[in-house]
Structure 1
Amino acid sequence: MRDVLRHHLFWPVAALVALLVANTVARPSFLAITVRDGHLFGAPIDILRITGPLLLVALGMTLVIATRGIDLSVGAVVAVSGAVALSHIASSPDPESPVTVLTAIGLALALCVVLGVWNGFLVSVLGIQPIIATLILMTAGRGVAMLITGGMITTVNSAPFKVLGSGFWLGLPVAAVIAFGVFAVVAFVVRRTALGMLLEATGINPAASRLSGVRSKTLTWTVYTASGLFAGLAGLLISADTMAADANNAGLFIELDAILAVVIGGTALSGGKFNLSGTLVGALVIATLERTVTVLGISPLVTPLFMALVVIAVTLLQSPRMRERLTAARRRQIAVPPEPQPAASPDSTEVKAR
C-alpha cells in the first residue's frame, strides 16, 4: 500500500476519480454515453474532446520543461495557427476543397514550426532565459495573428476543415484521436530511444551533459520547435471547433493550463526527469475540472478560484515534503503511549485477596 501511495500517478489519478465521482453524485447520468448516427456522445466524450488541444500543448511543454525551459508563447502560437489557416480558407475561391484545407493546414503548421525554431534560437544559441525569450513571442505573436486577420474575427464555412474540431472517427472525436495519436508516437519515441535519457541529462546538468558529448543546444532547439508544432496543431483543432479565428482570445491562458497539467502530472519545473503519462492524466484533470464547473453550476465569477483550489490541493498532496509531514504526523499519533492506569490501592488488593 505504501508503494501505491508513493507512485507518481497515484494522486493525479485519485484527483481525477474524485472529480468524476463528484460529477456523478451531482448528476447521476454524467458518465452515460449514448450512440447517435454511429457517434458517441456524453460528458466523457466531451472531456476527451476538450483534452485534445490541451494535451498537445502540454506535451510540448513537458519536453521543454524537461530541459529546464518554459514556453509561454504557446497561446500566441495557437492564435497564429488558427489565423493563418482560416485566412487562407476564407480567401480561397473554393473553401470546401480538400486541397485548400490541406494547404491551409500545411501553411499554419509551417509558420508555427518557424516560430518554434525562433524560440529555440533565442534560448539555445543566444542564451536568453527561456521565460524572457518566449515572453517576446507571447506578446508579439498575437500581434502577428491580428495582422493576418486584419484585426477582425475571421469565420469560414468549410466542411473538410470542420472535421478536425467536431468530426468523429470510429465514434470518437477526431480532435481526441489526433491528440492521443500524437501523444502515443511521442511517448514511444522518447521512451524507446535514447532521446528521453538525453533530455533528462540536459535538464539535470546541461554543462555535464555537454562535456559527456550530448548536444544539449540541438536538443533544446528541437524541443522548442516541437512545442511550436504541437501548439500549431492545437490551434487548428480549436479554430476548427469554432470555425473562427480570434487573435485576441484563441488559446488565451492555455499556456497556464498546460503548465498546470505538467505539474499535476508530477514533472518538476526545475527540469530533468519528466513524466508523459502524468501529463496525460494532468490534462484529463484540467478538462474534467472545466466540465465540473458546468455540471455543478458554479458561477463564472468564482470558477478560477474553484479550479485553483483543486489544483493547489493536488499539488500539495504530490509534494514530497508535504507527504513526509503527513507521514510523520501519522507516526506520532501511532507512537503516542496509552495513558497509564491508576495503581490499585493496598486496601483494594486485600479485598481481592480475600
Structure 2
Amino acid sequence: MEDYAKCNGHSNNITTIETTNENNIFDNRTLEDVCGCDIDDDSDSDSDSEVEEDTDDDGDVVKNFYNCKGMIGQKKAREAAGIFINLIKEKNICKCLLLAGPSGSGKTAIAIAISKEISEDAIPFCIFNASQVYSCEVKKTEILTQYIRKSIGVNIKEIKEVFEGEVIKIEPFYDDTYEEKKVAYVYITLKTIKEQKKIKIHSSIYENIVKQKIQEKDIIYIESHSGMVKRVGKCSLYQNMFDIETDTFVDLPKGNVHKKKNIIQNVTLYDLDISNAQPKDDILNFLQNSKSKKTEITDKLRNEINKIVYKYVDQGIAQIVPGVL
C-alpha cells in the first residue's frame, strides 16, 4: 500500500481508494483552519502549493471536497474522493467504489462525506459489517442482497390534497361524558399569504400533532385523505426573534389553505420488499410478526417490484437514488 491513499483504475468496474494509518496524515492547512493557530512548515506548504498548481478544471471540485466536512488528515484520500465525485456528476463512473484500509483510518468518514457531497438531499447510507452475517436461517447472499437494496433509494412523486399553512391557533374540545377527559375534536387555524382558514380535525390527528410537538408559528400540512401531519419548519417571519436558533425556517405558503401539493416520499427498495412481503390478512399478519425467525424474500417478488419501479421511472413518477453501502 502506498503512502496516504491512491485512486486505482476502473478494473472490473470497481474503483479503489486506499487509506492508511501513517503518523504524518495531517495537513497543516486543515489543522490551522480547525485549531485557529499558525503552523509553520515549509515542506508541507510547498507540497500543498504544488497540489494546487497541478489541478485542472476539475480541481475546484476536488479542492472543495479537499477542505470540506470538517475532516482532518487523509489529504490524498480526500483528493481521490473528490475525483470520484466528479466522475459521479459526469455520469462517467464505474459501478462500485471500494474503500480499503486498516481499522480507524477514516473509511466510514470519507464515505459519509461523499454521500453528503453528491447530493444535498438525503440519500440512503447503510453501514454493513461482516460480523452481522451470523444467521443460520437466512443465506449470506440473501443478507447481502437486503443491504444492497437498503442502499438504493426511490423518490416517489405524488399529488395529494392537503391543508397547508402557518399554525395560528389550536383549540382542542374535550368530551365530558367519560370519567377521564378525552379530546373529541380540534379546531386548528391555518394561515397563508392569501387567506386564513379554520378547519375541524379528528382527535387521532391531534395525537400526531402532540407527538410532533407542533406549536403556533409552525408551518405544517395535513393530508386530507390519510390525515397524516407533517411539520415543515417554523415560519421565516419569526427568524429574527432569537440570535441563535436551531430550527429550520421556511417561507409562508402561497395560495389557498386547501390545495393540491406535489409530495415526494423517500423509500428504499428494501422497504418496498418488506411492505409487499407481509401478509394482508390481519390474523396472518399477527402470526407473521410473532415469529422470531427471519424470512427470505423471494426473487419473484423482487422482480415484480423492480418492474413496477421501472414503470414509474419511465412515467416520470419515481426517481432512483443510488446510495452508499
Using the size of structure 1 for normalisation, the TM-score is: 0.22
Which has more strand, going by share of residues?
2
TM-score w.r.t. length of structure 2: 0.24
Q: Which of the pair is proportionally richer in helix?
A: 1
